[in-house]
Structure 1
């Protein structure tokens, strides 16, 4: 069995030299435009161009999100108003239905057909008396219908 020993390097490899990449078209265009605007390569905007672009991107995203939030708030208010209007309409329809289903209202509507729940009678002294006939339950047997 072999002994564990440290490996000694026989010859040192030369350090890898990174070749400078050639800038792409967009980077060349930005560099040329910035040079025309600011004059020197070591000017403040040129040194901080990456930060300026990053802050510009963040501001654009912030403005877009703000517009989106405002649009959502407007949509929620419009929907809330619509729900309130529908609720008011439902309440008025329910009140109208409750009023129209009262016995007195039904009696007024069916009076045109000759159906009345009042009976005019005369008492012993000849005075006309208006009496209300209570409603009668109609019972239908199974074999009759």
Structure 2
């Protein structure tokens, strides 16, 4: 007595039997001769060359991004150091500017020109309302 099974359409049965041909693997096999490199009986690397290349590409991108991030961190640290130095220099210049505006500092600078402060107090001018 025969065993009952479901009938599969012929198209689906043919698709299951045929393995998908990898264009990249077949091209590399033809160009480089990977079957000679790995041996005729060891076809695993040839069949999975697309996955191997994809993982390799991802690793290269990961390494590149890591180097870029490290370079960016070094640049940020260098910029922070420069900003701190410029801030300190700005504070010193501002303090010098504020100090140079005081009367005692101005008197020191104009003494070289021969100018001195007057020793008499200022006098008040009085103008009468009808004189102007």
- TM-score normalised by the chain length of structure 1: 0.58
In 2: Cα distance, 1:43 partner to 1:22 partner: 13
Please give the alpha-carbon distance, in whole angstroms, between the structure 2 residues aligned to 1:135 and 1:87.
Answer: 43
Task: Identify, as 1 or 2, the structure richer in helix.
Answer: 2
Aligned partners of 1:23 and 1:38: how far apart in 2? Answer: 17
What's the TM-score once normalised by structure 2's chain length?
A: 0.63
- RMSD after superposition: 3.2
Q: Which runs of 5+ in 1 are unaligned?
A: 1-13, 120-132, 137-145
Q: 3-state SS of the aligned residue for 2:112?
A: helix
Aligned residues: 111
Q: Which whole-Å CA distance do the structure 1 matches of 2:81 and 2:42 have between them?
A: 59
Q: Residues of 1 paired with 2:104 and 2:26: CA distance?
A: 90
What residue number does 1:28 align with? 26
From the CA coordinates, give the structure whose radius of gyration is larger: 1
Matches of 1:135 and 1:53, distance apart in 2: 92
Q: Greater strand percent: which structure?
A: 1
Give the distance between the partners of 2:74 and 2:103, measured in 1 at CA. 47
Q: Aligned partners of 1:134 and 1:30: how far apart in 2?
A: 102
Which protein, 1 or 2, shows the higher relative CO under an 8 Å CA cutoff with sep ≥ 6? Answer: 2
Contact 1:100 1:106 in 2 (8 A): yes
Q: Which aligned segments of 4 or more residues in structure 1 are displaced greater than 6 angstroms? A: 18-23, 133-136
1:113 aligned counterpart, secondary structure: coil
